[in-house]
Amino acid sequence: MMQNSITKVFFAFRCLFFAMLMSSCSDEMASVVSDTESETTVSFVFNVTEAKDSVKDGSRAVSSDNTISDITVFIFDQNGNAIGKGKASNATSLKVMTRKASNCTVYAVANSSQFESTLGISRVSSKADFDKVCYKVLTSAGTPNITNVMFGKKTGYSTTSSTCSIALNKIYSDFSFSIKINKDTKTGLNIVLDSYQLCHLPKTAYISGTMQSAEYYDGKEVKFTSNNESGQTMTFTGQILMNPLPKGTNPNSKGWGYRSGKYAPANASYLKIKAHSQMWETTFYYYLGGLELPSTYSALADYTNYTIYPSKNYKAAITLNGNGAEEDGNRVSVILKSVTASDLGKIICADGSVYKTVSLAKAAGKEPVGFIAYVGNKAAAAPYNHGIAFALENVNEVGTTGVNYDDAVEIAKSYKGAAMKFSSGWHIPSIEEWNRMFDAFGGTKYGIPDNLNNSLKSQHWDSGNVRQAMLDAGGNAFWEGSNFAAKTTYKGEVGFWVYAFRDKAEVDGEPGVWGWRTNPYPRAVRLCFVF
């Protein structure tokens, strides 16, 4: 059903007729015939419509109970008046006394006796009465109890014909759904299936199928706690009462992508699937019904049809490949997981998960890669505009001499540490990225003065408590006295903005040192990524 990140869904069903010749056990003749001169008797036999799907794997509908415990037949004339009625138990055939008439409508309902108190079949005296006969499914905690009540009709029938064959349809359809779970094709992360739920299901069904349901309910949400991750296929089956509906408003030419709540008629039934990865939570909505809808677009298929027909076997094979963010918002609801201000100073792992310390991340079997140094919305261009993570260690051995710009770039390129998936990847921090970290941890950030030259400039700045926060999280601190590189361009020349850290409020009259250098000066290179 879904396209793009969600593999297309296959709904297919076919109706086949199985003739089941039934031997009569008992007949009940109804005295509704007034014209004795035109009296006649009609013999009825019944075929049960059995739903098969078009899949060649031998799969079958869930329910196969075609037992007829009782059968009731009504014959209505062209004015809708009852001119014949018969009932039998364990019927294979049934004879009904009536009068000669043309253009009649014959109704047959099987297995209704147990619901006589609510259906009121015995009280029917006209076609209008029968069209109001309504079956109500019993539910317990969202679980339906659907019986094998069946219905059939014949229109334009002449009672001068002594025999009549009627196909019986169940008042429900079977469904058989499978959900295959793959890894997220964009991030490589595992997808976890959380639950499925059938929603807005008809609670009632008019036996004749002439009217929409009067009541609806949501099925029980089935939650998964094991064997529900990438590489698994989950299956489930059940029944849905028939649900005649008007056409949807979606353009027929658009196919599956427009079968959504926006275009569906009121009271359409749908399947709701919840899934998540380390980086998102998504609810998928698959609208049910219709006649044969192939997995790939077909100009011959009617994508505006949402009716749940009786005696069908609806099958769907759904594959989850991602969060579906590119789908119609009426088909998919996506919540992207993200860090918050409360995660500042914590460890972010390669899969996007967050832990308080390096040791806790490793204990969980995760790969710690960065220290969350900033949480906000302006760190970088989309899509990596939410946060900044600094490496847990320097990428070079700190010596007594500095490195020039080109050397620092090469050091960064050779760094083999992992970065979080779905991030910018490692790079030399910019002035903006350094300043955002200082500001986040209670320090002071500065802009670049206009009178810079190739020398250090003393300023009253500090890094807040970021050095201690890095230590508390299990990383290596920004060492005292080490000058760290910040990538920038000044007067058209690419070079370094240099930060020298101090533990004390003031060292040699300088609480902190920063300045512009093109010649070798920075001794430490600490990388970062934005996400």
Spatial contact of 152 and 74, defined as CB atoms under 8 Å apart: no
- Write down the pLDDT at residue 342: 86
Is residue 20 over pLDDT 50?
Answer: no
Is residue 317 over pLDDT 90?
Answer: no
Find the helix or strand (DSSP H, E) in which 127 lies: helix 127-131
pLDDT in tens, 374-431: 988 654 455 556 789 999 988 877 666 667 777 778 878 878 777 776 678 888 888 7
Q: How far apart are CA 431 and CA 428, in angstroms?
A: 10
> What string of H, E and C letters represents the secondary structure of 177-228?
EEEEECCCCCCCCCCEEEEEEEECEECEEECCCCCCCCCEECCCCEECCCCC
Mean pLDDT value of segment 82-91: 89
Mean pLDDT value of segment 284-288: 91
Mean pLDDT value of segment 224-234: 89
pLDDT in tens, 182-205: 998 877 888 999 999 999 999 988
pLDDT in tens, 230-252: 889 999 888 899 999 999 998 87
Confidence label for 25 from pLDDT (cuts 50, 70 and 90): very low
Six-digit token string for 73: 């037949």
- Chain-centre distance of CA 284, in angstroms? 2
Mean pLDDT value of segment 83-104: 89
Mean pLDDT value of segment 251-279: 87
Least confident of 82-86, 94-98, 161-165, 394-398: 394-398
> Among residues 509, 372, 503, 486, which one has the least CA distance to residue 430?
486
Same fold yes or no, 6-11+173-336 and 14-171: yes
Is residue 6 over pLDDT 60?
Answer: no
- Write down the pLDDT at residue 144: 65
Confidence label for 284 from pLDDT (cuts 50, 70 and 90): very high
Residue ranges covered by each domain of the chain: 6-11+173-336, 14-171, 341-530
Find the helix or strand (DSSP H, E) in which 318 lies: strand 313-320
For helices 466-473 and 431-440, angle between their N-to-C axes, nearest 10 degrees: 80
- Write down the pLDDT at residue 33: 45
pTM of the model: 0.66
Six-digit token string for 355: 């832990």
Most confident among 99-108, 232-241, 271-280 (mean pLDDT) = 99-108
Is residue 169 over pLDDT 80?
Answer: yes
Spatial contact of 458 and 390, defined as CB atoms under 8 Å apart: no
Spatial contact of 185 and 321, defined as CB atoms under 8 Å apart: yes
Q: Residue 457 CB: number of other CB atoms within 10 A? A: 15
Instruction: Please tell me the class of the 14-171 domain.
Output: mainly beta
Topology adopted by domain 6-11+173-336: Immunoglobulin-like (2.60.40)
Spatial contact of 240 and 202, defined as CB atoms under 8 Å apart: yes
Q: Rounded mean pLDDT of the chain?
A: 77
Is residue 363 over pLDDT 70?
Answer: yes
Pairing mode, strands 70-76 and 456-459: unpaired
- Counting residues of the chain whose pLDDT is more than 70, the rounded percentage is 74
- Write down the pLDDT at residue 495: 62
The DSSP result for 395-457, as a single string, is SS---SS---HHHHHHHHHT------SSS---BPPBHHHHHHHHHHTT-------TT--SSEE
Pairing mode, strands 332-336 and 280-287: antiparallel
Q: How far apart are CA 101 and CA 158, in angstroms?
A: 6
Is residue 146 over pLDDT 90?
Answer: no
Confidence label for 24 from pLDDT (cuts 50, 70 and 90): very low
DSSP 481: T
Is residue 290 over pLDDT 50?
Answer: yes
Mean pLDDT value of segment 462-479: 85
Is residue 225 over pLDDT 60?
Answer: yes
Beta-carbon contacts of residue 202 (< 8 Å; ≥ 6 apart): 137, 212, 213, 215, 216, 240, 241, 242, 243, 267, 269, 308
pLDDT in tens, 479-511: 655 667 666 655 555 666 666 665 444 444 444
pLDDT in tens, 326-355: 776 678 888 777 778 889 999 998 877 889
Q: Please indicate whether residue 339 or residue 306 has the higher confidence score (pLDDT).
A: 306
